[in-house]
Structure 1
Amino acid sequence: MFKRLRNKFIILNMTIITIVMISAFAAIYIITYGNIQNENQIKLTNIAMSPIMMNSLVKSDENNNTDRVFVGKIPNDYSSTFSVLVGKNNKLLNVHSYLDLTEDTYAQATKLAISSNKESAVISIDGQRWLFKINSMNANLIIKGKSGVSQAAVLEQIYFMDVTESYNILSQLLLTFGAISIVMLFVIFGISLFFARRAITPVEIAYEKQKQFIADASHELKTPLAVIHANAEALYANKTETIKSQQKWLDYIATETDRMGKLVSDLLYLAKTDSEAINSELAPFNISHVVTDVLLAMEAVVFEKGITLSQNIEPDLIVNGASDKMKQVVIILLDNAVKYVNENGKIEVTLKKSRNHVLFSVENSGGGIPKESLPRLFDRFYRIDASRAHDGSYGLGLSIARAIIENVGGKIHVTSVQGESTTFILELD
Structure 2
Amino acid sequence: MFTKLRNKFLILNMSITSVVMVAAFAIIYFITYNNIHSENLKKLNSLSSGKQITIHSEEQNKLDASPSDKPIAITGVGLPADKEKETFSTLANFSLGDSLSFNIEVDADGRIWGINSFIALPDEAYYKAAETAWSDKKNNSTITLEGKQWQYTITPILMHVIISGQPYTSIEGKYQITFLDVTESKNTLLALLTTLLLVGLIMLFVIFIISLYFANRAIKPIAETWEKQKQFVADASHELKTPLTIINANYDALLANQNESIKSQIKWLDYIRIGSDRMAKLINDLLSLAKIEDVNLKAQKRPFNISNAINDVILSMEALVIEKGIKLRHAIEPDIIIKGDPERVKQVVTILFDNAVKYTNNNGQIDILLKKAKNKIIYSIKNSGKGIAKQDLPKVFDRFYRADPSRTQETGGYGLGLSIAKTIIDRLGGKINVTSVENECTTFTFTLGL
TM-score greater than 0.5 by the shorter chain: yes
2-structure distance, mates of 1:38, 1:114: 23
1:6-405 aligned within 5 A: 6-49=6-49, 52=52, 55-56=75-76, 66-68=86-88, 70=90, 75=94, 77=96, 80-87=100-107, 89-137=109-157, 155-276=174-295, 279=298, 281-385=300-404, 389-391=408-410, 392-405=412-425
Report SS of the residue matched to 1:415. strand
Superposed CA RMSD in Å reads 2.7
Name the stretch that deviates more: 220-229 or 49-58.
49-58
1-structure distance, mates of 2:3, 2:89: 79
2-structure distance, mates of 1:420, 1:125: 93
Question: For the Cα contact (< 8 Å) 1:362–1:423, is it kept in 2?
Answer: yes
2-structure distance, mates of 1:67, 1:118: 24
Q: Deviations over 1:376-412 (max 9, x none)?
A: 2111111113568433011111112222323333322
Residue of structure 1 in register with 2:165 after alignment: none
Q: Structure 2 counterpart of 1:110, which letter?
A: A
Report SS of the residue matched to 2:434. strand
Q: Structure 1 counterpart of 2:191, which letter?
A: Q
Q: Offset of 1:51 from its aligned partner? A: 5.8
Unaligned segments of structure 1, at least 5 residues:
60-64, 140-152
Question: For the Cα contact (< 8 Å) 1:46–1:76, is it kept in 2?
Answer: no
2-structure distance, mates of 1:261, 1:250: 16
Residue of structure 2 in register with 1:150 after alignment: none
Name the stretch that deviates more: 8-17 or 319-328.
319-328
1-structure distance, mates of 2:223, 2:382: 34
Task: Indicate whether 1:411 and 2:431 are aligned.
Answer: yes
Report SS of the residue matched to 2:75. strand
Q: Deviations over 1:36-83 (max 9, x none)?
A: 111111110111116658614999xxxxx8252649x97462961101
Residue of structure 2 in register with 1:2 after alignment: 2
Q: Structure 1 counterpart of 2:371, which letter?
A: K
Q: Offset of 1:88 from its aligned partner? A: 5.2
Q: Structure 1 counterpart of 2:207, which letter?
A: I
Question: For the Cα contact (< 8 Å) 2:299–2:341, is it kept in 1?
Answer: no
Q: Deviations over 1:148-173 (max 9, x none)?
A: xxxxx853211101000000000010
Q: Deviations over 1:270-324 (max 9, x none)?
A: 1111114674543222222222232233333223323222111222222223333
2-structure distance, mates of 1:328, 1:30: 66
1-structure distance, mates of 2:181, 2:173: 24
Residue of structure 1 in register with 2:71 after alignment: none
TM-score using structure 1 length: 0.88
Q: Structure 2 counterpart of 1:194, which letter?
A: Y
Report SS of the residue matched to 1:77. coil
Residue of structure 2 in register with 1:426 after alignment: 446
2-structure distance, mates of 1:411, 1:219: 31
Q: Structure 2 counterpart of 1:168, which letter?
A: N
- Does the C-alpha gap of structure 1 residues 96 and 223 become closer, same or farther in structure 2, counting only changes over 3 Å? same
2-structure distance, mates of 1:423, 1:202: 28
2-structure distance, mates of 1:380, 1:47: 84
1-structure distance, mates of 2:405, 2:438: 18
Report SS of the residue matched to 2:178. strand
Q: Structure 1 counterpart of 2:218, which letter?
A: A
2-structure distance, mates of 1:66, 1:279: 97
1-structure distance, mates of 2:298, 2:191: 63
Residue of structure 1 in register with 2:169 after alignment: none
TM-score using structure 2 length: 0.85
Question: For the Cα contact (< 8 Å) 1:85–1:154, is it kept in 2?
Answer: no
Question: For the Cα contact (< 8 Å) 2:400–2:415, is it kept in 1?
Answer: yes
Residue of structure 2 in register with 1:148 after alignment: none
Question: For the Cα contact (< 8 Å) 1:402–1:412, is it kept in 2?
Answer: yes
